[in-house]
Amino acid sequence: MSSEPPNPGAATSAPRVGNLAIQKVYVKDFSFEAPNAPRIFLEQWKPSVDIQLANEATPVEGDMHEVVLTVTVTVRFEDKTVYLVEVQQAGLFNISGFPPEHYAALVATVCPNILFPFAREAVSDAVTRGGFPQLLLAPVNFEHLYAQELRRRQQEDSAAKSGQAH
């Protein structure tokens, strides 16, 4: 074993590593509606819960990107909306040093994974403050959702190409 310190100026074969840094996390938009309150509180109900997720990324300046995760929760009972809550949880991320082909995966998986706990807390807090039982959203596998979206796009591309060939 050598006891000499490593030479910081020596060339290395280590791959270049990108940087993703959180600059700011904030709520961009927020909405809570309970259109059938207070009568809905008087009913014995077993609601159905519909959760929709959307993600959007926009370059801001240089390596700075805004990523907005939209979480929409609609709770219904029979033909009535019990409540609807929507939060646009946003973040400013400094993303640099990654190959360009990795950008889409980063903003569709890593950034939403960072933002989702904040959105989950905002939804839970709004529902509770609205007088309803606490709603805890289950964790989301954004990597799986991204892979599904890629497969869907590939299938659409294949179908479009085969449709043009005829």
**pLDDT digits over 130-140, tens only?**
999 999 999 99
User: What are the extents of the domains in the chain?
Assistant: 19-149
Question: Residue 2's pLDDT is what?
Answer: 44
Question: Taking the model in full, what pTM does it have?
Answer: 0.83
**For 114-135, what is each residue's pLDDT tens digit?**
999 999 999 999 999 999 999 9
Q: Which residue has the higher pLDDT, 3 or 87?
A: 87
Is 107 a residue whose pLDDT tops 60? yes
**For 34-80, what is each residue's pLDDT tens digit?**
999 999 999 887 899 999 999 999 999 999 999 999 999 999 999 89
Strand partners, 74: 50, 84
CATH number of 19-149: 3.10.420.10
Is 165 a residue whose pLDDT tops 70? no
